[in-house]
């Protein structure tokens, strides 16, 4: 089997795999999992009496969403177990109670005017994450079109363009993942507010476990598959160019066998080189006795 056929097949498989994984990661809500041990918090409140700290926690434990176990994606916060009664939720496609993340786009009521500088930076980066993922999908679609055309005409140049577009799509997705990590860092370490980690009560910190979930893992796996697809497309372009060159050389060698040799003939060149000289006196000419009486004999 030709090298180009193998590499193109593998590149296509990894390309489809990467798009599938990225689509699942983009649309699901399991990027971050926050497991809150509410029973431990309630035991703590019972055992520590009625002081100022426990009173504040007691007021928030049944009203604030961050005292409930939840998963977070790019668009929604979902509550797989109990859900806070003060938060308006709806059923997601997987039958989980969720509420949307507000990106304030468009900000028609100018709600972001009171945000801190860090909060505004985090908001813009969150929007950029979504935009980069969408651009990655668009570039991937264009690369598929050029890839189909390149396979149809067996054009090494178009396969190389497909590889370049796949690399661009991979870089866009990787940039989105990097920005997402920056947003996560801002929420954990820099932003100030009751819903952010910096201002959680100590009892909530001690009884909450924050981990990356499977949607996050699928996002990075999709980038790895896309990078593999890009490398295979470059290899396929190189293999295809070599195969086309060998085919041209084989065709030229086959055509030489059907060319008949033509050898020059000496007589043709002799007659052609020395034409007969014109006669000085026009004829007819007579010799002997007939020359005395001319052409007519009466």
Its domain, for residue 175, covers 3-245
pLDDT (average), residues 2-11: 79
Place of tokens 């000085």: 280
Predicted local confidence at residue 248, as pLDDT = 67
125-161 pLDDT per residue, tens: 999 999 999 999 999 999 989 888 877 777 778 888 9
**Whether pLDDT at 48 is above 90:** no
Place of tokens 């006795």: 289
For residue 136, the domain's CATH number is 1.20.140.150
**Whether pLDDT at 205 is above 50:** yes
Q: Is residue 130 part of a domain?
A: yes
Predicted local confidence at residue 49, as pLDDT = 65
Q: Which residues pair with 34 in a beta bridge?
A: 70, 210
Q: Is residue 283 part of a domain?
A: no
Q: Is residue 297 part of a domain?
A: no
Predicted local confidence at residue 298, as pLDDT = 43
Whole-angstrom distance, CA of residue 72 vs CA of residue 212:
10
Structure tokens at 71: 């998963």
Average pLDDT, the chain: 82
Query: Which residues, in sequence order, are CB contacts of 169 under 8 Å at separation 6+?
Result: 136, 137, 139, 140, 143, 226
Predicted local confidence at residue 275, as pLDDT = 55
Q: Is residue 294 part of a domain?
A: no
Predicted local confidence at residue 1, as pLDDT = 56
Structure tokens at 30: 């399991």
Predicted local confidence at residue 262, as pLDDT = 56
**Whether pLDDT at 290 is above 70:** no
49-59 burial, b if ≥16 CB within 10 A, otherwise e? Answer: eeeeebeebee
**Whether pLDDT at 16 is above 80:** yes
Give the SS3 label for residue 290.
helix
**Whether pLDDT at 4 is above 90:** no
What is the number of domains present in the chain?
A: 1
Q: Is residue 256 part of a domain?
A: no
Q: Is residue 280 part of a domain?
A: no
50-69 pLDDT per residue, tens: 666 777 788 788 888 888 99
């Amino acid at each position: 089997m030709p090298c180009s056929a193998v590499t193109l097949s593998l590149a296509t498989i990894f390309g489809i795999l990467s798009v599938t994984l990225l689509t699942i990661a983009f649309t699901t809500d399991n990027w971050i999992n926050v497991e809150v041990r509410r029973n431990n918090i309630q035991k703590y409140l019972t055992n520590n009496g009625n002081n100022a700290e426990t009173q504040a926690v007691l007021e928030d434990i049944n009203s604030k969403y961050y005292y409930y176990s939840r998963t977070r994606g790019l668009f929604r916060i979902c509550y797989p177990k109990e859900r806070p009664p003060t938060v308006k939720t709806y059923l997601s496609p997987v039958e989980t109670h969720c509420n949307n993340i507000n990106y304030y786009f468009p900000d028609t009521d100018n709600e972001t005017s009171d945000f801190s500088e860090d909060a505004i930076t985090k908001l813009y980066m969150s929007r950029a994450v979504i935009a980069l993922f969408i651009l990655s999908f668009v570039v991937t679609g264009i690369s598929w079109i050029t890839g189909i055309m390149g396979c149809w005409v067996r054009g090494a140049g178009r396969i190389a363009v497909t590889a370049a577009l796949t690399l661009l799509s991979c870089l866009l997705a990787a940039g989105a993942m990097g920005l997402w990590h920056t947003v996560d860092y801002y929420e954990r370490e820099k932003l100030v507010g009751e819903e952010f980690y910096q201002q959680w009560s100590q009892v909530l910190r001690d009884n909450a476990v924050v981990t990356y979930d499977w949607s996050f893992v699928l996002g990075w796996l999709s980038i790895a598959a896309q990078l593999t697809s890009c490398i295979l497309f470059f290899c396929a372009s190189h293999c295809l160019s070599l195969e086309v060159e060998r085919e041209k050389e084989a065709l030229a060698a086959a055509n030489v066998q059907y060319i008949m040799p033509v050898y020059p003939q000496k007589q043709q060149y002799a007659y052609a080189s020395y034409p007969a000289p014109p006669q000085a006196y026009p004829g007819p000419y007579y010799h002997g006795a007939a020359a005395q009486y001319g052409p007519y004999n009466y």
